[in-house]
Every structure is written in structure tokens, then in C-alpha cells.
Amino acid sequence: MNSLYKDSRFRYIILANLASSIGSGITMIAIPWLLVTSDKGNEVFGFVAICMTIINFILTPYLGYLIDKVSRKKMIVSSKVLSLIALILFSGVGFLGMEYELWHYIIIYMIGSLYYTIFYPTMFALNQELFHKNQFKVLNGTMEVQGQLSSMLAGAIASVLLLKWDLHYILLLDVCTYALAIYFFVRIPYVRTRKEKAVSVSTSEAINFMKREPGLFLFLLASSLPFIGVMLTNYLFPVYLADVLEVEGDIYGIQGMVYGLGAVLAGIIVPIAARIWEDEKLVAGTMILFTMAISVMVYLPVGGYLFMMLLIAFGNGGARVARNAFMMERIPNEIIGRVDGLLRAVGLLLRIVLLGVFTGLVSMGEIMLCFMILTVILVVASVFVVVFSRKSLRVAGRQVLKV
């Protein structure tokens, strides 16, 4: 643990992520708000969100191939530079005295969505490449804490800036944080060690790898369900609070803070628990906790709902920390981008289908049926996680799987 914190590469990564996460987080809170409060913006935002999910689904496998083919550091820096240039241009619109129109908001949102699609899997692969396997658990726990604290700070700052600043000043702040992040990423000592022949194949290599390890594929796919569930409940929870519990908006704000607290606790506790239990057992335990919490929360009053939200956050954050460490230890670095891209693509497809189903059910006033469907899916996924963590994955031992 101490060796990780003393590593200059780790410190630069944390500082870069803090800077860019806060800046981009503020912008990605401000832009949806400005979109939905524009004339007909609510309908437009829903359409844009679905379109971007489909675009990300199409791009994800190819991005996974690029992550394995080119320098991951250059890929991150390049994406940040391009985003910075785009934000400078859009910030200039306001400084020139021009009015922002709906299409400006749409383009900025699309840029932010594409940036996230590139950044997170690339950062995941870069972390695996830079650090030793005995550091993965603490590394992923620290990244979880950093990410949640950045999100909470971005939300707090955005709530103030949306009332005080015009959009071009918010975008300029984002530009400054991106520039700072680029500086820190450039400072990271990095020598690409992978061989070119290891990436001479296409995404089919990831598919073939998963075919040879069906238990591993099912485990990784099923263990991604908590994250997919959280993405879906980002749509369901506001509707549930307003239409079923009939509470004021402050409860939604408190829910966000409670969720952040639960995720931070997961980032701290799970790496400590990993000294005692194996990653797959931690994934199974936190996923069961997530499933139980989400299955009962809709039958509880506001106080119980918020407590279940704490458990949901802990379950999702804990499963993600343990799952990421598990993947880093068992998936070869030369194909991690394509394997991760394949899993993300399947997850995005599932999100698209379920979001379409849930949108239709909510329009008919059947939000409780949405939660029932989600619970059934999570129970099935949890069974896969438990079964394969006890059988198929035990066969693999603690060795990295070979291509």
C-alpha cells in the first residue's frame, strides 16, 4: 500500500483525475439542466441520451481495439486535448456575446459523453499496465473514493455556479481543469512495454478468449449488473420519489449525498476486506447486498429508502472495486481493452433494451413493475456470480489467464 502511495505515477493519476473529474462533472451537470429547461428540451434530451447510448454501443468494441493497439497515455491525453479545444470554442461563443442555442447544448453533451466513453476504459487499462498486481485492490479502492468525492464536489460546485455564473464561465473553468489534468498526465513516466504482434488481431480475439472461458465471461457480465442497475435507476428513482413517495426535491439531493457516502465507504472497506476474502467472493457478497437492498427499498418509507440507498451504493461500489481488481489480475494486459470493450458493449445493449421497456412502463404508470423486473434480473445475475465464483473460477486459481 505504502509503495503505491509513494509512486509518482499514482499521485499524478489521482491529481489529473481530480482536476478533470471536477471540471467535466460540473459541465455534465450544467448541460443536462440547461437542456431540460430549454423550450422542448426535455424531449430533446431524452432523444439525445438514447442516441448517444446507441453511438457508444457501436463505438465501444472499436475503442477497445484502439486501447490495445496504441499508447494508452497518448490516447487519454489526445482525448483531453480535443475536448479542451472544443470547450474553448464553445466558451468563446459566450464571450463573443452570442446566445447559446439548443444545438450548442446538444453538441457539448455529446462531446462529454464521448469523452467518458473513451476515458474510463482507457484509464482502466493504463492502471493495469502501470501497476503491480499486488497493488490492484488498493488502487481500485482509491480510484473509487476519488471518483465519488470528485462527483460530490462537482455537484456541490455546480449547484452554486448554475445560479451565479453564465455557461461560458463554467466552460472556461472546465477548460482550466482539463489543462491541469493534461499537465499531470504528461508528467506520468510511461514506457509502452507491449509488443506490436500482441495487438495485430481484431476484436474477435476477445470473443475467442471469452469462448474459451465461458465461466469467466458469465461472471464478468453478471457482475456488471449492479452498475447497469444504477444507470437505469438514475431514471427510475426521480420518478419514484415524485410520483410514489410524493416528496420534495430536497430528498433527491439527500439521496445523492447518501449514495456518495456509501460508495466512498465501499472504496475504503473492500480493499481491506480483500486481505481476507478473494475478489470473486467479495463481488458475490456485495452484489447480493445490492440486490437485496434494491428489492425491498420501494416498499419502505423515506427513512428506510435512504438507508437502502446507502447499501445500494456500497454494494455497487464494492462490486466494482472487487470486479476491477479481479479483471486486472486475470485478463492479460494486451487484450484487456478488447475484453473490457466487449463486456461494456453487451452492457450498453442491455441498458438500451431495458431503458426502452422501462420508459414505456413508466408512461403507463407501472413504475413498480419496472423495479420488479430489475429485481428478477439482478437475482438471476447474482445466482450466476455465486455459482461461478464457487466452481468455474476456482479452477483458474490465482493465475493470470493466458491468451
pLDDT digits 0-9 by tens, 28-50 = 878 887 887 777 666 677 778 78
Question: What does the alpha-carbon distance between residue 207 and residue 217 come to, in Å, rounded to a whole number?
Answer: 10
Per-residue pLDDT for 247 more than 70? Answer: yes
Query: Residue 202 has what pLDDT?
Result: 57
* Full domain range(s) for residue 216: 200-394
* 186 and 204, same domain (yes or no): no
Q: Stretch 332-336: mean pLDDT, rounded?
A: 87
Banded pLDDT at 150 (limits 50, 70, 90): confident
Q: Stretch 295-319: mean pLDDT, rounded?
A: 92
Query: Residue 14 has what pLDDT?
Result: 92
Query: Residue 182 has what pLDDT?
Result: 95
* 117 and 16, same domain (yes or no): yes
96 belongs to a structural domain: yes
Q: Which of 298-302, 367-371, 393-397 has the lowest mean pLDDT?
A: 393-397
Torsion of CA 201, 204, 208, 213, to 10 degrees: 110
* 246 and 115, same domain (yes or no): no
Closest CA to 18 of 142, 171, 132: 142
CATH of the domain at 249: 1.20.1250.20
Q: Report pLDDT digits (tens) over 88-111.
A: 999 999 999 899 988 999 999 999
Percent pLDDT > 90 in the chain is: 38
Mean pLDDT over each residue of the chain, to the nearest integer:
85
Q: Stretch 390-398: mean pLDDT, rounded?
A: 54
Per-residue pLDDT for 253 more than 70? Answer: no
Residue at 10: amino acid letter: F
Query: Residue 185 has what pLDDT?
Result: 94
152 belongs to a structural domain: no
Q: Are 327 and 280 contacting, i.e. CB atoms less than 8 angstroms apart?
A: no
Per-residue pLDDT for 399 more than 50? Answer: no
Q: Which of 190-204, 220-234, 239-253 has the lowest mean pLDDT?
A: 190-204
Q: Stretch 266-286: mean pLDDT, rounded?
A: 90
Query: Residue 7 has what pLDDT?
Result: 86
101 belongs to a structural domain: yes
Question: What does the alpha-carbon distance between residue 177 and residue 185 come to, in Å, rounded to a whole number?
Answer: 12
Q: Stretch 307-335: mean pLDDT, rounded?
A: 91
Question: What does the alpha-carbon distance between residue 293 and residue 356 come to, in Å, rounded to a whole number?
Answer: 24
Q: At what angle do helices 249-273 and 302-330 cross, to 10 degrees?
A: 40
Q: Which of 42-56, 117-131, 239-253 has the lowest mean pLDDT?
A: 239-253
Q: Are 298 and 240 contacting, i.e. CB atoms less than 8 angstroms apart?
A: yes
* 21 and 45, same domain (yes or no): yes
* 238 and 185, same domain (yes or no): no
59 belongs to a structural domain: yes
Query: Residue 250 has what pLDDT?
Result: 62
Q: Are 115 and 83 contacting, i.e. CB atoms less than 8 angstroms apart?
A: yes
153 belongs to a structural domain: no
- Backbone phi and psi for residue 165, each to the nearest 5 degrees, phi listed first: -110, 150
* 96 and 204, same domain (yes or no): no
Percent pLDDT > 70 in the chain is: 90
Handedness of CA 279, 146, 289, 337 (dihedral sign): negative
Q: Are 162 and 30 contacting, i.e. CB atoms less than 8 angstroms apart?
A: yes
How many structural domains comprise the chain? 2
pTM, two decimal places:
0.82
Per-residue pLDDT for 400 more than 60? Answer: no
Banded pLDDT at 191 (limits 50, 70, 90): confident
- Backbone phi and psi for residue 9, each to the nearest 5 degrees, phi listed first: -65, -40
How many C-beta atoms lie closer than 10 Å to residue 329's C-beta? 18
* 270 and 306, same domain (yes or no): yes
Question: What does the alpha-carbon distance between residue 283 and residue 385 come to, in Å, rounded to a whole number?
Answer: 8
Question: What does the alpha-carbon distance between residue 155 and residue 26 come to, in Å, rounded to a whole number?
Answer: 7
Question: What does the alpha-carbon distance between residue 344 and residue 243 come to, in Å, rounded to a whole number?
Answer: 32
Residue at 122: amino acid letter: T
* 186 and 218, same domain (yes or no): no
Handedness of CA 382, 388, 394, 399 (dihedral sign): negative
327 belongs to a structural domain: yes
Q: Max CA-CA distance within the chain?
A: 65
